[in-house]
Amino acid sequence: MLDLAILGLLEEQELHGYEIRRQLRDSLGLLANVSFGSLYPALARLEAAGDVEAVDGADEVAPTAPPTGSLSGERAVLRARRHSRPRGRRSRKAYRITGQGRRTFARLLAGDGADDARSFGLRLAFARHLPPPARLALLERRRAQLVERLAEVDGARSEATLDVYARSVVEHTAEGVARDIHWLERLIEAERKPDGQRAAGRAASRRESGGRVAGRPAMAGKGNERN
């Protein structure tokens, strides 16, 4: 699971461990808050397997530092002259993905394996690396799994005798799954109609203020699935 995230980030640039964690936390947010206790072993694992290789580049550009060109820049230059290591706190180990690593990434991304919420979220977050049919398959596979699990629970839910608290937890969880299914179905529908912007589209998706999520008026509360 971590392997997928790491390789996905390294697909675009070489990074060191600390920065991988930062990007995962900042951009993927709540989905992937990875701990160092799993990150560094995962990197060592991937390196041993030949999916990534360490590059001793202390000179790669810091990805989140926009060139403001002001005092900090000059100070950085001075520090570089003195210590011959720009922005380097401690010795960093940057990693680069290998050819084999790219194949591993593709395999993990399309993997048929069981996906929990985390794994699926990660796969979908990297879905731009998938060919469109595989994207659709990923979405529909996940939807089928959720539908099945929800059906199982709905069967048992009617006969169980639970107190207020347990019932609230169960209901809330089930509603969450139903909401996930709804979300997946919207994604599937959007995926089926070719919209013009896709493939490389990082420039196309920038200005998308028409917002599907932020200010949605009312969510068609048709299904009152409380039994």
Partner DNA sequence: CGTCGCTATATCGGCCCGATATGATGGACC
Partner DNA sequence: GGTCCATCATATCGGGCCGATATAGCGACG
Query: Under the criterion CB under 7 A, does residue 100 sit at the interface with DNA?
Result: no
Work out which of 12, 27, 38, 168 binds DNA, going by CB under 7 A. Answer: 38
Work out which of 10, 42, 52, 150 binds DNA, going by CB under 7 A. Answer: 42
| 43 secondary structure, DSSP code | H
Q: Provide, rounded to whole angstroms, the least separation between the CB of residue 181 and DNA.
A: 20
- Write down how long the chain is: 227
Q: Which residues are CB-contacts of 94 (< 8 A; sequence separation ≥ 6)?
A: 14, 15, 16, 54, 55, 56, 57, 60
The binding track of 48-87 with respect to DNA, each residue x by CB under 7 A or -, is ---------------------------x---x--xx-xxx
3-state class (DSSP) for residue 54: strand
Integer Cα distance of 210 and 68 in angstroms: 31
| Count of residues in contact with DNA, rule CB under 7 A | 37
Integer Cα distance of 9 and 15 in angstroms: 8
Read off the amino acid at residue 146.
L
Query: Under the criterion CB under 8 A, does residue 172 sit at the interface with a copy of itself?
Result: yes
The binding site for a copy of itself (CB under 8 A) comprises 25-31, 121, 124-128, 135, 149-150, 152-153, 156-157, 160-177, 179-180, 183, 187, 198, 201-202, 204-206, 208, 213-214
